[in-house]
Structure formats: C-alpha cells, structure tokens
C-alpha cells in the first residue's frame, strides 16, 4: 500500500480454512494490528505507548505506506477479521517517497538502499500461538514468493528478534550468527553506533553449531534456510523486550521450493513479467 492505495500484487492462496492475501482496506490492517498487539504486548510483554495500549493495536507511521500480508482463518469469527498471521512489506520504491525504512532506526543500511533494483523490507511478522506451524508459515512464504516475482525484488531485509534484553543470555546464537552467517561486506548492515552490541560474545572455537541452531527462533532459522545473512551488531530493543539482528536475503540465492514453484507456474501461464 502506498498512501491510500491498496496493492493487488498477487492472488489469494487458500489451504483449507486458511487464506493468505494482502489487506485490502483499513479494517483489515486494523485486524493485523490487533494480532500484533496480542502477540507483542500481551504475550511477549513489550511496553506499549499510551496510545497503543488504549487502542489495543500495535501501530506506527509505517503502517500507512506498507502492504500488509495476512493469513486469515475463515472460521475464526472470534478474532478481528479472522487474522491469525501477518507480515509487513515495504518496497524501496515506496519507502524512498515516504521517508525511508523502519530498519534504519536500528541499522545503517546504505549498502542495501544503494543496491541496483527493487528491495523489500520485511517486518512486524507475527502469528497467533496455535497457528505457529508449517502450514501457516508455508502460506506466508508462498505469498512473499509471489510478491517478489511481481515486483522483481533483488534483496529482502529487515530485523528479526530473539526474546529478552540480555545479550549475554543469547551469547551462543548471537556468536554463531556472526561467525557463520555474516553478510558479505557489499550488503552488510551495521548496527548504529549508539545501539551497537558486539555479537562475538564467545570465541568461535567454543561454538556448538547444532545447539546454536536449536536456540534460534524459527523465523531466523527460516531466513537462514533461504540463504540469508545477518548484519554486524545486535540491537537491544527495550520497548519490545527483544534483542534484534538484521537479516539480508539475496533473492537470486534463494532455492526454496516456493520460489521454484512460482517460477514454474509463471512460465506455464506465459507470464513473462513474473517469471
């Protein structure tokens, strides 16, 4: 969405009761914000502003310019809009007209912003607790795959969170990410100096890779499976009660089956723009 325009970047994907598509009106964005409030503030103990707490919705200025990806359970009449999953999507062509990216509050991203071609910021990802399973995540990533093909995205990026605000308690996963998944210099974000936390909290020879992977949140593991990298430095977000890392994924390195599937589908349909 750019201003009051709502994107129709792809067709809905339906699996049983679940439908994945972009929000098409303000009420649906409000339903996504209500889900974010339940997950971030009620479940994860983030600290809301007075306005956010009064509205029981997580919102900021970026909501007005982003596309909002939704997963809707058509049978969940007890939840606002039936929304059980969401992702916020912001393309560089939109961000450049509207004051930039959310990630720049935590990371220096000039190397990504300077990339030739369209880039995509992923953010505010959350899923209702009982839907944190493979079918829901497949729907989200199938939809993002369509979006990437439609807009010819070359790089995806954003912030991903680990619970808690004590980096020492996260020493193993943070150190593992730095030593084994650091982004190449040409695309490497760096935490802003005033927020920078060195991720090298353990010597590399002490890293148990299997244990480190097991301690990573599913979302970060998903990015790594897509060939993703992390930037230099973690950021403690006391408002959201998390420790954040920056994520970068070059779409030409992605070998995930969703991307292959949509490439084949596009070719079958003779859609050269998406293929």
Average pLDDT value over all residues in the chain = 89
Question: DSSP letters of 176-192?
Answer: HHHHHHBPPGGG--EE-
User: Using alpha carbons only, what angle is made at residue 228 by residues 226 and 233, rounded to the nearest 5 degrees?
Assistant: 155
Sign of the four-CA dihedral 131, 27, 44, 161: positive
pLDDT computed for residue 213 by the predictor: 96
**How many Cβ atoms from other residues are within 10 Å of residue 26's Cβ?**
13
Which residue ranges in the chain fall short of pLDDT 50?
1-4, 255, 262, 266, 269-275
pLDDT computed for residue 116 by the predictor: 84
Locate 257 and state its tokens: 């089956």
Fold of 13-268: Aminopeptidase (3.40.630)
pLDDT computed for residue 1 by the predictor: 44
pLDDT computed for residue 138 by the predictor: 86
- The whole-model pTM stands at 0.88
Which residue ranges make up each domain of the chain? 13-268
């Amino acid at each position: 969405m750019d201003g009051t325009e709502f994107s129709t970047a792809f067709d809905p994907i339906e699996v049983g009761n679940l439908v994945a598509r972009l929000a098409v009106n303000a009420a649906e964005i409000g339903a996504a914000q209500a889900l974010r409030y339940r997950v971030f503030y009620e479940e994860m103990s983030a600290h809301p502003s007075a306005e956010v707490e009064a509205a029981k919705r997580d919102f900021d200025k970026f909501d007005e310019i982003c596309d909002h990806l939704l997963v809707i359970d058509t049978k969940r009449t007890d939840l606002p809009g039936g929304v059980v999953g969401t992702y916020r999507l912001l393309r560089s062509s939109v961000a450049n007209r509207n004051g930039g990216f959310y990630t720049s509050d935590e990371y220096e991203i000039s190397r990504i912003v300077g990339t030739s071609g369209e880039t995509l910021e992923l953010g505010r990802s959350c899923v209702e607790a009982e839907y944190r399973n493979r079918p829901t995540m497949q729907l989200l990533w199938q939809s993002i795959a369509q979006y990437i093909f439609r807009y010819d995205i070359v790089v995806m990026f954003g912030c991903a969170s680990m619970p808690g605000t004590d980096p020492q308690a996260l020493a193993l996963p943070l150190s593992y990410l730095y030593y084994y998944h650091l982004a190449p210099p040409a695309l490497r974000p760096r935490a802003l100096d005033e927020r920078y936390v060195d991720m090298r909290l353990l010597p590399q020879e002490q890293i148990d890779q299997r244990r480190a992977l097991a301690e990573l949140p599913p979302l970060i593991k998903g990015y790594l499976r897509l060939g993703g990298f992390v930037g230099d430095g973690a950021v403690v977000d006391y408002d959201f009660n998390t420790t954040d890392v920056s994520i970068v994924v070059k779409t030409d390195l992605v070998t995930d089956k969703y991307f292959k599937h949509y490439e084949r589908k596009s070719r079958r349909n003779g859609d050269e723009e998406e293929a």
